[in-house]
């Protein structure tokens, strides 16, 4: 009886010790709608991608994923808001090449740290730019364009959506790698720059493929090259800049999901799994391709490595351009 009493006492003590541990297990996630903060206003291409992902991701999570647009400061306002949010998996960030890899070089007083403040989850899509020229420019290939620029230094100009934008930095990387002089003309957005290109006031422009396919098809602009490592399915006859001899030239714009830095690992793992499943569907692949993008997914570690690699890549390009948005 004494032995049984001792055993019972030990069993009771063990159960009491296990009770707090069981109670400490993280609750099921998600417990409420998830907010996906987008760093640009509603209606643009980034917003469209985020909304499509939010819809499909919500279906898999069993909770609504709500897009929260917070434009301003090159995406910095949205990024800072997410970085300061509770790390419980209910607030996510739709990050881009600009917000995570370019802004650190553009802003000397950035109010968030792309590495320390975030836990990368996965990419969801990549895209590229296309180099188009005014049909009056006597160049039909990258080689001819470089030859023309060297023959007439500084006479060719290119427009962009503004200092530090992907089309601006595409031009800066092209200029430096080709060893040519080009004049940069910044605008407040791609639309006014495009108007001047179509009006013959700009020589060339790097712009998203989706925005230029119709202009290219109707002959309003001439496509010279795409900026990615491979040709675009939307423009299969247009070579890459690398094919023209500028080895290593690669301007790939990416979009992906991140969470606040201290978000529990099980939440990150679940998110990664569901995003990968969404982006692997034929529907998402087709929707992305129609918009000039490629569906993608990565592990959190691969995404973190990409951010680090692109941050190092763009820092010298931004410095050489002299662009600063402080």
Which CATH number goes with the domain that contains 147?
3.40.190.10
Question: Are 167 and 205 spatial neighbours (Cβ–Cβ below 8 Å)?
Answer: yes
Question: What per-residue confidence (pLDDT) applies to 14?
Answer: 54
Query: Would 20 be classed as within a structural domain?
Result: no
pLDDT at 34: 98
> Within this chain, do residues 119 and 68 fall inside the same structural domain, yes or no?
yes
How many angstroms separate the CA atoms of 323 and 167, rounded? Answer: 13
pLDDT in tens, the chain (326 residues): 455 455 555 555 555 555 554 444 456 899 999 999 999 999 888 999 999 999 999 999 999 999 999 999 899 999 999 999 999 999 999 999 999 999 999 998 899 999 999 999 999 999 999 999 999 999 999 999 999 999 999 899 999 999 999 999 999 999 999 999 999 999 988 889 999 999 999 999 999 998 899 999 999 999 999 999 999 999 999 999 999 889 999 999 999 999 999 999 999 999 999 999 999 999 999 999 988 899 999 999 999 999 999 999 999 999 999 888 87
Co-location of 239 and 140 in the same domain:
yes
The helix (run of H) or strand (run of E) holding residue 258 is strand 252-260
- 178, 41: one domain: no
Q: How many other β-carbons are positioned within 10 Å of the β-carbon of residue 97? A: 24
Q: How far apart are CA 211 and CA 129, in angstroms?
A: 10
Determine, yes or no, domain membership for 239.
yes
Residue 277 and residue 202 share a domain: no
Residues 88 and 156 in one domain: no
139 torsion bin: left (phi>0), alpha (psi -120 to 50), beta (else): beta
Q: How far apart are CA 11 and CA 249, in angstroms?
A: 67
* Pair of tokens at residue 45: 């291409």
Number of structural domains (the chain) is: 2
Contact 38, 70 (CB under 8 A): yes
Res 223: pLDDT: 98
Total-model pTM: 0.87
Reported as type and span, the H/E element at residue 50 is helix 45-61
How many other C-beta atoms can be found within 10 angstroms of the C-beta atom of residue 196?
Answer: 16
**Cβ atoms of 251 and 168 closer than 8 Å:** no
- Residue 298: CATH number of its domain: 3.40.190.150
Counting beta carbons within 10 angstroms of the beta carbon of residue 23, is it exposed (0 to 12), middle (13 to 18) or buried (19 or more)?
A: exposed
* Domain limit, last residue, from 183, 213, 244: 244
Q: Is 257 helix (H, G, I), strand (E, B) or coil?
A: strand
Residues 122 and 163 in one domain: no
Of 212, 244, 276, the residue that ends a domain is 244
User: Which of 199, 217, 244 represents a domain boundary (last residue)?
Assistant: 244
Q: Which domain holds residue 155?
A: 128-244
Compute CA distances 269 → 52, 91, 259, 266, 275, whole Å: 21, 15, 11, 5, 10
Q: What's the CA gap between 121 and 25, in Å, rounded?
A: 22
Q: Please indicate, yes or no, if residue 21 is contained in any of the structural domains.
A: no
What is the reported pLDDT for 22?
43
Distance (Å, whole) CA 40 – CA 79: 11
* Lookup: tokens for 62: 């069993």
In a domain, 16, yes or no: no
13 alpha-carbon distance from chain centroid = 53
The answer to whether residue 102 sits within a structural domain is yes
- 112 in a domain, yes or no? yes
Question: For residues 100 and 171, what is the distance between their CA atoms, to the nearest angstrom?
Answer: 20
Distance CA 221, CA 205 (A): 10
Give the containing element (helix H, strand E) for 136: none
């Amino acid at each position: 009886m004494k032995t049984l009493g001792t055993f019972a006492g030990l069993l009771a003590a063990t159960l009491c010790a296990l009770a707090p541990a069981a109670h400490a297990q993280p609750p099921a996630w998600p417990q409420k709608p998830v907010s996906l903060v987008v760093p640009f206003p509603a209606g643009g291409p980034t917003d469209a991608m985020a909304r499509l992902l939010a819809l499909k991701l919500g279906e898999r999570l069993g909770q609504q994923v709500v897009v929260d647009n917070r434009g301003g400061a090159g995406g910095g306002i949205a990024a800072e808001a997410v970085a300061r949010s509770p790390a419980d998996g209910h607030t996510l960030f739709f990050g881009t090449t600009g917000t995570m890899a370019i802004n650190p070089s553009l802003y000397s007083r950035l109010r968030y740290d792309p590495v320390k403040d975030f836990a990368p989850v996965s990419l969801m899509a990549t895209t590229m730019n296309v180099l188009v020229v005014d049909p009056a420019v006597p160049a039909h290939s990258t080689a001819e364009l470089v030859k023309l620029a060297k023959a007439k230094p500084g006479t060719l100009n290119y427009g962009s959506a503004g200092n530090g934008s992907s089309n601006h930095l595409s031009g800066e990387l092209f200029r430096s790698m080709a060893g040519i002089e080009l004049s940069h003309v910044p605008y407040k957005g791609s639309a006014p720059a495009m108007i001047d290109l179509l009006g013959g006031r700009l020589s060339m422009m790097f712009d998203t493929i989706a925005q230029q396919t119709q202009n290219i098809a109707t002959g309003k602009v001439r496509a010279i090259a795409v900026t990615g490592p491979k040709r675009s399915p939307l423009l299969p006859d247009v070579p890459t800049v690398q094919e023209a001899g500028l080895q290593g030239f690669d301007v790939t714009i990416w979009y992906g999901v991140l969470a606040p830095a201290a978000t529990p690992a099980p939440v990150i793992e679940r998110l990664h799994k569901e995003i990968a499943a969404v982006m692997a569907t034929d529907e998402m692949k087709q929707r992305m391709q129609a918009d000039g993008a490629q569906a993608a997914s990565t592990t959190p570690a691969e995404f973190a490595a990409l951010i680090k690699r692109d941050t190092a890549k763009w820092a010298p390009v931004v410095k050489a351009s002299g662009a600063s948005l402080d």
